[in-house]
Structure 1
Amino acid sequence: MKLAFLVLAAVCAAGNVSGMSTCKTLDVQMVRKKRIEAIRSQILSKLRLAKEPEAEQSGDEEEIPTTLLSLYNSTKEMLREQRRVETDIATEQEEEEYFAKVLHKFNMTAKNDTGTTKASKTIPMFFNISEIRESVGDYRLLTSAELRMLIRKPVIAFSQRVELYQGLGSPSYLASRFVTNQSKDKWLSFDVTETLQSWLKDNKDEEEFQLRLFCECGQTDVDSTFSFSISGIESGRGDTGVMQMRTKQPPYILTMSIPQNSSSHLTSRKKRSTDPKDTCTAQTETCCVRNLYIDFRKDLGWKWIHKPTGYNANYCMGSCTYIWNAENKYSQILALYKHHNPGASAQPCCVPQTLEPLPILYYVGRQHKVEQLSNMIVKSCKCS
């Protein structure tokens, strides 16, 4: 065991990354043939069929009910929309995860008329959007924003529900929270990422959040006032209120964003992410998606799948770079490693990374069905 570990460590430390994978290279036609047979078995297995339906049961000439055609077309449209949304989300997540994040803290603006008391039913919180815009930059660089406020002196029988609103004039509802006596000296937080992104798009210099008491129709006045205070705006007007904001922590927005100097890289990464970069060309030797169209009738001899008539199944093939170069592959170490680990691979191989489902409309006897087969279409590959 110790020897095998030392051998593996030596392999991992050997050479640089310019060499190519030594995974066994297969004949392209053989790979295609095996892929087609694998798809045959895969479809039958996913449909829970022990064998393909007999030709006389195919119902090839049967008229397909309009409702089933509509269901099939709707399923295709839904998958198309999901792919578009998932691509956008994956691209954004890739960018957000790739770059280091910058943290900023923006305190509520000290306004002379901001002071409030427990008798108030609304607590306004103003923020300097110009300052945030200058620090964060483009709204697309903002990855998260959280509004935080410290609860003080709660005197609540059970719990008190508060609601957060955004904007001046006619505020819109964002979220609600419950405050109890156990909330004393604890932070009340709200996710305001989308709100702040929309504010950064506009050209306003200042915006406002409002914390309001929840009020039901016909409710008595028992809970018509705040039964707690918020640090930094507990009470006081004019200079007294400003002084409290300077000595105590007022509500603030904590942001996380991609550095502004990364914006050009962000744009270029977005452009690259939409390209079919994994698809092979005739000259490609490295790991990539190889095109493979399956015609159900010609390739599989099936007439019982009515729609689609075929699909782009694709497959992965190509070499993978690894830790040694062509000049020095430490052949003795590799031989020893393979001797102690005959079932393991000393280098990565080209395998599917992203797969998509395939909806089909098919017959079993004279019964028509629409089902979605998972993981049938290879969209991208990786070395693993």
Structure 2
Amino acid sequence: MVDLFNKVADANGITRAPGLLQGDVVRSFEERGGPGGGEPAGRAGAERSSPGHLGRHHFYFDISAMERGEQMLKAEFRVFKLKRTRRSRRSEVQHFCKVEVYELLESENKPQKKHLIASRLLSLYGEGWEVFNVTQTVSKWVGNSSSNHGFWIRTTHVSKHGMEHDVVTFAKSQGAFQESRNALLILFTNSNKRRSHSFVPSAAKSEASHVSHDPAVESSSGSLSRRPRAASSPLAACHRRELYVDFHAIGWSGWIIHPSGYNAFYCRGSCLFPLGESLNATNHATVQSIVYTLKLSQDVSMPCCVPDELKSLNLLYFDDKQNVVLKNYKDMVATRCGCH
């Protein structure tokens, strides 16, 4: 997830280029054992199954943290294939095994009821991540959570001694030292919200509730209209100013992984007539500034200095169930100011 963050954003979280991220939310679910008292998260290794199970291994992911209304774009099942220590005899020319990924249609105690999702040949002796597209299956789980019984993996190898089963082992939850190899389910989705109403996960809202507004800051903007002469100087004209948001200072460092803060910028200054090209004024703002300057109406105020162009920000954070999420938030950084 950190690698993906670095690909789509700079060190401050600002989006490098639109379209690099598929969707605006990437959710990472770690394999933590089966539902309803299934295999515990701390259990070491993918157990060797009985002969009747043909070496199939169970992986379950709790995806209940998905938000209502999210549009599924892509789902990837990622498992780490461990290196095989026992090598076949030199006379054997078949150095590949067949790996099949199934969706379990019932509980893990009934693996015979399953549906094949994907299969491929893998080297017996290689080690590394294997990625399977499981979009259709996970989309069904999102629509009906009770149908989620997890994945089942079966591996087979044909040699001169006959068919072998359970010839490959995939890493499962083994504690902190093995955490980077835990099986993952990665979901790429669209939140379908231009401005997310859940910018702060519920578990973190209380952390930021103590942050209060500074009355001095709130009242300072009103003083500009009472000093039209000073405001008309070039330095006081509408322009962009720095506004660094420190996530630790506002109580959000407990749930945001990266970045530690960012420069949001803000706009401040006067929009008195004449409005030059540098003020990016709308036609409406130009007319309003003339009416305000000539005092043709007591009810008309000076046009506002506001963000005229904004960029998105990428945050890597923990959701309420401690899953790692990468989300692209729209309109978070003011890149240009204008009179509106």
- Quickly name the TM-score band, shorter chain normalised: 0.3 to 0.5
The TM-score normalised by the length of structure 2 is 0.39
TM-score (norm 1): 0.35
Larger radius of gyration: 1
Larger relative contact order (Cα-Cα within 8 Å, sequence gap ≥ 6): 1
Higher helix share: 1
